[in-house]
Amino acid sequence: MNDALSLSKYMYETIAGGFTNQLPISSVCSARCIFCSNHMNPFPIYREGFRALDDIKKGVALLNPNAEEIRMGDSLPGRISEGEALLHPEILTVLKLVREKSPKSVIQVNTNGTMLTTEFIDSLEQFKPMRFTISYHSDNPEHWCTVFNLDMEKYKTARNCFFQLMQRAFDVQAVIVPLPNLVGYEDLENTIKNLRCYTNYVMVYPPGYSKMADSELIKTLESDPGELSLFLSRMRKKYKINLNNLSDLLMPLRFFPYDFMLRTYNGKFKNVLWMFSSAAHNRAKKILKQYGPSVPNNHYAVNVRNYTYGGNINSAGLLMVSDFDKALQKALRKYSKENIKIDLVLLPKMAFDRYGDDLTTKNYSELSKKYGMPVWLG
Ligand code: SF4
Whether 29 lines ligand 1, by a CB cut-off of 6 Å, is yes
Q: Give the ligand 1 atom nearest the CA of 39.
A: 8
The predicted model scores a pTM of 0.93
Give the H or E element holding residue 298. Answer: strand 298-304
Give the whole-angstrom CA distance, residue 308 versus residue 42: 7
Helices (H), the chain: 9-16, 53-61, 91-101, 118-124, 141-148, 152-167, 180-195, 215-221, 225-239, 258-266, 281-291, 321-337, 365-371
Q: How many CB atoms lie within 10 A of CB 1?
A: 5
CATH classification (class only), 258-377: alpha beta
Give the whole-angstrom CA distance, residue 215 versus residue 287: 36
Whether 36 lines ligand 1, by a CB cut-off of 6 Å, is yes
- Give pLDDT, residue 168: 97
- Give pLDDT, residue 2: 58
Compute the distance from residue 118 Cα to the ligand 1 centre, in Å.
Answer: 22
- Give pLDDT, residue 1: 54
Compute the distance from residue 31 Cα to the ligand 1 centre, in Å.
Answer: 6
| Domain limits, the chain | 3-244, 258-377
Probe target for ligand 1 pocket from 33, 40, 133, with the most ligand atoms within 8 Å of CB: 33
- Kindly report the protein residue whose alpha carbon is nearest to atom 8 of ligand 1: 36
Q: Region of 179 please: left (phi>0), alpha (psi -120 to 50) or beta.
A: beta
CA distances in angstroms from 328 to 280, 302, 313, listed in the order given: 17, 8, 19
User: Which amino acid does the sequence have at 73?
Assistant: G
- 214-242, pLDDT tens digit by residue? 999 999 999 999 999 999 999 999 999 99
Whether 33 lines ligand 1, by a CB cut-off of 6 Å, is yes
Whether 45 lines ligand 1, by a CB cut-off of 6 Å, is no
Given a cut of 50, the residues of the chain with pLDDT beneath it are none
- Give pLDDT, residue 18: 87
CA distances in angstroms from 349 to 108, 163, 289, 317, 377, listed in the order given: 25, 40, 21, 8, 5
Check for a shared fold between 3-244 and 258-377.
no
Q: Are 196 and 236 in contact (CB under 8 A)?
A: no
For domain 3-244, give the CATH superfamily.
Answer: Aldolase class I (3.20.20.70)
Compute the distance from residue 29 Cα to the ligand 1 centre, in Å.
Answer: 6
- 300-324, pLDDT tens digit by residue? 999 999 999 999 999 999 999 999 9
Q: Are 205 and 221 in contact (CB under 8 A)?
A: no
Whether 82 lines ligand 1, by a CB cut-off of 6 Å, is yes
Angle (CA) 271-276-278 rounded to 5° is 140
CA distances in angstroms from 41 to 204, 212, 215, listed in the order given: 21, 7, 16
Give the whole-angstrom CA distance, residue 29 versus residue 27: 7
Cis peptide before 65 (omega within 30 of 0): no
